């Protein structure tokens, strides 16, 4: 069974199953969402209007037994950035969609009269159903209701109250193997799905399977690939401390943005570190290792229990902990976990929202360090969609605009995450040039700037940063197309058996003969497709810049400043 | 005494008086503010940061007895649009500044520690004083206090509470000859002055006068010029009914945007028309004719009294009445006058704020037609800077973003004023291509599309609209440099004695020999300077477009749609 495109028109409530156009066939994941958005969405359309399209695509290897291949890509024109957008996450949806024979779902048009719907996906296509029961519900209650209604094994991609309110930081929640959730966090894609009138997408493969052209070759390649992942020291650190291993590392580097980016070190870093979190989880019967999807051999997720040893959150990431912690000057990990839980329940990006609150703290809405106040903002303002809640739910840029704050850490209106670009300059190039607004995952130079992976480049020097970011952004665009987790990159950069094994997996899956160069070219062409969309939407090099304050204010402890010229940044696109 | 540049640095609280650079010498008003902003403000700077500059300039003829020459230009990079911005108004400031020998004031840097200042301008330059007394006060009370403190004849340019809060729709209020106020309404320049830490600028010419090179020639030219203005039928209509004469005219044309741009006609138009207003003013002892500045012979302003025959508002313009009236579906002129008064007191643009409320009504914040609710929004939310108040104070674009509304009538994030571009297509070209965001005054095609001035071009056809808008935008840029009121354009378009007389006035004032072609070239060069600034700030042709909904939704009664292609719009810049 060849994979198909499942198309859903919410204006006339029609669905269809389509063959894959020839030039979409080699794409999956981000490569496919970006190709479809670029082909079908008018770049200047309103992101929440009928002409935007919401695209979901599993990766090229999703649904196979390949290690770490369970990432789901969602794409659209972003209401937060106005750029093309791909946001990906774990959970079960990608694998189940692939098993439905679905290469991508395209949701277009807009439902009328504020009626809400759900989309039920099976190998037979999509059925549109009116939805009432879970409208207005928080994500955790909604997932419980749906597990009861649909059975616990169906995949779910849902928006929360934030997406229903079309907040521009609204995310998508994807059910994980335990019935908890993972998030396609960035860029407000939850508002796009909400604007279509779709509350959730359920996925039932009804026993469907993904075919593999050469099973023996696949099995052999997967063994090499998985071993390469498991053996890498960063994989092992991630399995022990989660991504939050980075708090102490980045604080030490002087690149941990603190109190709305006014310092590069946080005195409360020990209290919120991965090491502290690890010990708390052990003491409270949580889980130090946990998969976000079946087949993950790194297991950077975890189960974080509260002081009464009850489940509080999972997938408790460094960037969320940094944003709610150092950036807001809050050093109470339990409070941060509670905030993370609330953000997940509302269905809103933890990075964007917490950075927005950091800016609000600078504006005087709340004192820095006021954790209880932060929880109150989330439950009484954001969750309820009050005026202030909608400002915060609109992201850091909106808070800056509403309160006249000039220290607003955004690029293309998306909040800068957990690495200060003055002290870690490679990531600044990624923030500036990414086709998606500020996003560390687009070209994670931290690997080489701070972790010694793929060599070592001095984070404080300008030397080599543009090339580093370019190479990583190209590689990332390709990885994001396979359905692979980005954390395979550590092994891929250091172990020469890793990337050939990944290519073997692709070749064995489809019976083709890709080379390493083909994969690099795929990455380049994805970036160029995305860049061309943005240019047609009105973006120019002037948008590939960090906010002015990074050039005006040096940051402790290195007294570092952002000192790239526009011309230097623009050489990024010389490929 | 040759005119000088008065420079004020709010970072180090220094002032200086400078000679005029050669290439600024031929400029005044908008031509000068735009030339200075383009020369000294980095196009990508934060509009509320230290690198933006706030520039005030009287026009080339300000301070002379030339009829209608009292307009003041203020300029900066706009926090609302991100473009270059000039906003002008009547009042006494332009004439008094010219009498101080001041060609322009440039306010740069930013005050520290949230301390507020006032700037006292005399022929000896600027003195910076700390200000406490009027901080936080509404404009009317502040003007009263300052008239008492400084005497009634000094000029005042002030921000209100909205400017202090750095709301992006905050305007500048300029004291008029009666001690009331006029506004530089558009583009949030009040937030720029507020960001510098300046509450108000006072102007005391201490008996200074403007020199005229050839007094006899000047007097003769002024006679011809003033007669030309007075004789034009549109001038006469403006003197009788004010600009609000347009309600019935534009309603009849089907271009009166109603209920957030969902219809082109308002059933309550008679209740808010200029004719109704004229009769009410007469009945209540108001004034039908009134100057916004000394020497105006058109007198489109008026004094509007309330039901108890007490002063309520003046300079009660068609665009404000339309925005608060038809666009919000409110047909009570006294309530609209009350709202206008409150907006003036807060110091916020009546067009931007009322259009923002129209979008908020569509979002369900308030019912359409709920006038009491609208007053409550202004006094309890905007004036107090609550969350909702700050969303509305950020303008129509912010309301759309906060509530996920797609029908948001803005270009370059500035609210579209009182003429629907689907039914009056020439003005749509002006909205799209203006260097300043949507602004009818930048190229007032209504003259030729609806009033038969300067010929007649069918408002519903695309034919001739680009050329019409181009010619008017070029002429307007030149007029805005002279200190002349834009309403001289009606006579200039129809009476062949008008423009030569204006050129004679300029030549007699400076002892020079400008030709009509020179004036046209001045207008062209100003537009190109402004356009180049915007391009360097990151704007492209993709920004010279109307919102998508104008192309998707036809408007009653003509079932008219916005049907210009991007390529057609872009021919605007072929000059």
- 3-class SS of residue B157: strand
Inter-chain touch B542–A381, beta carbons under 8 Å: no
- B386 touches A at CB < 8 Å: yes
Q: Which residue in chain B is spatially nearest to A49 when comparing CA positions? A: B406
Q: Does A165 touch chain B (CB under 8 A)?
A: yes
Give the Cα separation of A181 and B30 in Å (integer). 56
Helix, strand, coil abundance in chain B, percent, nearest 5: 45, 15, 40
Spatial CB neighbours of A339, under 8 Å, sequence gap ≥ 6:
A324, A350, A354, A371, A374, A375, A378
Cis, peptide link before residue A575, omega less than 30° from 0:
no
B538 vs A: CB within 8 A: yes
**Domains recognised in chain B with CATH numbers:** 4-203 (3.60.9.10), 212-241+421-575 (1.10.599.10), 244-419 (1.10.569.10)
What are the distances in angstroms from CA B433 to CA A82, A362, B439, B487? Answer: 21, 37, 10, 21
Give the ipTM of the model, two decimals please: 0.95
pLDDT at residue A400, as a whole number: 98
**CA distances to B32, B479, B497, B509 from B520, in Å:** 16, 10, 17, 19
CA-based nearest distance B376→chain A, Å: 15
CB B484 within 8 A of CB B283: no
**Does B168 contact A401 at a Cβ distance shorter than 8 Å?**
yes
Contact map slice: A 37-76 vs B, CB within 8 A: 43-46, 48-51
H/E element holding B99?
A: helix B93-99
Check if the beta carbon of residue B326 is closer than 8 Å to that of residue B361: no
Whether A543 and chain B come into contact, CB under 8 Å, resolves to: yes
Rounded to two decimals, the pTM is 0.97
- Cβ within 8 Å, pair A404-B194: yes
Note whether B566 and B548 are within 8 A (CB): no
Question: What are the tokens at B209?
Answer: 């006068």
Extract the tokens encoding A34.
């970006």
> Which structure tokens are listed for B94?
């332009």
User: What is residue A53's predicted lDDT score, i.e. its pLDDT?
Assistant: 98
Closest by Cβ to B548, choosing from A45, A165, A167: A45
- Asked if B404 is an interface residue toward chain A (Cβ–Cβ < 8 A), one would say yes
pLDDT at A98: 97
CA dihedral B217, B219, B223, B229 (to 10 degrees): 90
Residue of B nearest to A398 (CA): B398
Q: Which two tokens stand for residue B432?
A: 């799209």
Between chain A and chain B, the number of residue pairs with CB atoms below 8 A apart is 111
* Nearest C-alpha neighbor of B193 from the set B78, B82, B92: B78
Element containing residue B34 per DSSP (H, E): helix B29-40
Q: Residue B46 and residue A401: Cβ atoms within 8 Å?
A: no
C-alpha–C-alpha distance, residues B444 and B453, integer Å: 11
CA distances from B115 to A359, B10, B128, B148 (A): 21, 11, 12, 23
CA-based nearest residue to B183, from B202, B209, B156: B156
Rg (CA), chain B: 22
What lies within 8 Å, CB to CB, of B207 at 6+ separation is none
Contacts of B544 (CB under 8 A, 6+ apart): B432, B433, B566, B569, B570, B572
Contact residues for A499 (Cβ-Cβ < 8 A; gap 6+): A492, A516, A519
pLDDT in tens, chain A (575 residues): 479 999 999 999 999 999 999 999 999 999 999 999 999 999 999 999 999 999 999 999 999 999 999 999 999 999 999 999 999 999 999 999 999 999 999 999 999 999 999 999 999 999 999 999 999 999 999 999 999 999 999 999 999 999 999 999 999 999 999 999 999 999 999 999 999 999 999 999 999 999 999 999 999 999 999 999 999 999 999 999 999 999 999 999 999 999 999 999 999 999 999 999 999 999 999 999 988 899 999 999 999 999 999 999 998 999 999 999 999 999 999 999 999 999 999 999 999 999 999 999 999 999 999 999 999 999 999 999 999 999 999 999 999 999 999 999 999 999 999 999 999 999 999 999 999 999 999 999 999 999 999 999 999 999 999 999 999 999 999 999 999 999 999 999 999 999 999 999 999 999 999 999 999 999 999 999 999 999 999 999 999 999 999 999 999 999 999 999 999 999 999 99
Question: Which residues touch A294 (CB under 8 Å, ≥6 apart)?
Answer: A70, A92, A95, A177
**B166 shares contact with chain A (CB less than 8 Å):** yes
Judged by a CB distance cut-off of 8 A, whether residue B159 touches chain A is no
> What is the per-residue pLDDT across A454-494, written as a single tens digit (0 to 9) for each?
999 999 999 999 999 999 999 999 999 999 999 999 999 99
User: Residue B48: which of A387, A398, A404 has the nearest Cβ?
Assistant: A404
Rg (Cα) of chain A, in Å, rounded?
22
Strand A198-203 relative to strand A117-122: parallel, antiparallel, unpaired? parallel
Contact A19, A4 (CB under 8 A): yes
Q: Which residues of A touch B49 (CB under 8 A)?
A: 406, 548-549, 552
Distance, CA of A409 to CA of A80 (rounded, Å): 14
Q: How far apart are the first and last CA of chain A?
A: 38
What distance in Å separates residue A461's CA from the closest CA in chain B?
Answer: 24
Task: Output helix, strand, coil percentages for chain A, rounded to the nearest 5.
Answer: 45, 15, 40
B352, B395 contact by CB (below 8 A) = yes
Determine the Cα–Cα distance for residues A494 and B389; give it in Å rounded to an integer.
54
Structure tokens at B13: 């609280």
Residue B456 CA to residue B446 CA, distance in Å, equals 10
Low-confidence ranges of chain B (pLDDT < 50): 1
3-class SS letters over B187-239: CCHHHHHHHHCEEEEEECCCCCCCCCCCHHHHHHHHHHHHHHHHHCHHHHHHH
* A516 contacts chain B (CB < 8 A): no
Contact: A538, B537; criterion CB under 8 Å = no
Residues of B in contact with A381 (CB under 8 A): 387
- How far, in Å, CA of B532 to CA of B555, rounded? 34
Q: Do A548 and B406 touch (CB under 8 A)?
A: no
Question: Concatenated DSSP letters for A61-112?
Answer: TTTSS-TT---EEEEEE-TTTSSEEEEEE-SSHHHHHHHTTEEEEEEES--S
Query: Coil, strand, or helix at residue B162?
Result: helix
* CA distances, A31 to each of A16, A20, A51, A91, A391 (Å): 22, 14, 21, 19, 32
Give the pLDDT of residue B50. 97
Q: Kindly provide the residue ranges of all beta strands, DSSP E only, lying in B324-418, ordered along the sequence.
A: 410-411, 414-415
Torsion angles phi and psi, residue B345, rounded to 5: -70, -40
3-state secondary structure of A339: helix
Nearest to B46 among A50, A406, A538 (CB): A406
């Amino acid at each position: 069974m060849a994979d198909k495109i499942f198309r859903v028109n919410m204006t006339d409530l029609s669905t269809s199953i389509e063959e894959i156009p020839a030039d979409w066939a080699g794409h999956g994941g981000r490569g496919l969402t970006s190709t479809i958005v670029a082909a079908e969405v008018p770049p200047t359309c309103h992101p929440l209007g009928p002409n935007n399209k919401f695209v979901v695509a599993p990766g090229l290897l999703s649904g196979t037994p390949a290690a770490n291949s369970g990432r789901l890509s969602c794409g659209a024109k972003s209401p937060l950035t106005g750029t093309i957008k791909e946001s990906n996450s774990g959970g079960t949806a990608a694998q189940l969609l692939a098993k439905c024979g679905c290469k991508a779902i395209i949701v277009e048009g807009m439902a009328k009269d504020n009626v809400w719907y759900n989309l039920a996906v099976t190998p037979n296509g999509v059925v549109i159903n009116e939805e009432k029961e879970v409208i207005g519900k928080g994500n955790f209650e909604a997932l419980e209701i749906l597990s009861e209604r649909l059975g616990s094994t169906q995949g779910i991609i849902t928006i929360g109250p934030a997406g229903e309110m079309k907040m521009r930081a609204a995310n998508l929640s994807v059910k994980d193997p335990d019935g908890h959730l993972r998030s396609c966090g960035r860029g407000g894609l939850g508002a796009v799905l909400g604007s279509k009138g779709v509350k959730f997408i359920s996925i039932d493969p009804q026993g469907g399977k993904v075919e593999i052209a050469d099973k023996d070759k696949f099995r052999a390649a997967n063994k090499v690939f998985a071993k390469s992942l498991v053996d890498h020291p960063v994989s092992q650190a991630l399995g022990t401390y989660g991504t939050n291993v980075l708090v102490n590392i980045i604080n030490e580097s002087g690149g941990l943005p603190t109190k709305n980016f006014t310092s590069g070190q946080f005195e409360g870093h020990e209290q919120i570190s991965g090491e502290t979190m690890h010990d708390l989880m052990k003491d409270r019967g949580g889980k130090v290792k946990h998969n976000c999807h079946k087949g993950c051999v790194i297991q950077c997720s975890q189960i974080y229990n509260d002081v009464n040893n009850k489940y509080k959150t999972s997938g408790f990431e460094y960037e969320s902990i940094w944003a709610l912690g150092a950036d807001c000057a809050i050093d109470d990990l339990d409070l941060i976990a509670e905030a993370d839980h609330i953000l997940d329940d509302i269905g809103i990006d933890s990075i964007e929202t917490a950075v927005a609150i950091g800016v609000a703290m600078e504006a005087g809405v709340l004192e820095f360090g006021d954790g209880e106040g932060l929880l109150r903002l989330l439950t009484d303002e954001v969750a309820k969609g009050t005026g202030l809640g909608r400002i915060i739910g609109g992201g850091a840029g909106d808070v800056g605009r509403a309160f006249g704050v000039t220290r607003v850490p955004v690029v293309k209106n998306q909040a800068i995450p957990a690495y200060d670009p003055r002290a870690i300059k490679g990531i600044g190039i990624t923030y500036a040039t990414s086709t998606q607004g500020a996003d560390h995952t687009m070209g994670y130079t931290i690997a080489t700037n701070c972790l010694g992976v793929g060599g070592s480049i001095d984070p404080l020097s300008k030397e080599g940063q543009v090339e580093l970011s370019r190479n990583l952004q190209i590689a990332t665009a390709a990885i994001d197309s396979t359905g692979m987790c980005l954390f395979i990159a550590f092994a891929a950069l250091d172990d020469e058996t890793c990337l050939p094994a990944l290519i073997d997996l692709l070749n064995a899956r489809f019976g083709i003969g890709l080379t390493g160069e083909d994969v690099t070219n795929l990455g380049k062409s994805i970036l160029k497709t995305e860049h061309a969309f943005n240019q047609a939407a009105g973006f120019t090099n002037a948008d590939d810049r960090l906010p002015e304050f990074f050039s005006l204010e040096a940051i402790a402890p290195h007294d570092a400043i952002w000192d790239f010229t526009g011309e230097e940044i623009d050489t990024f696109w010389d490929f």
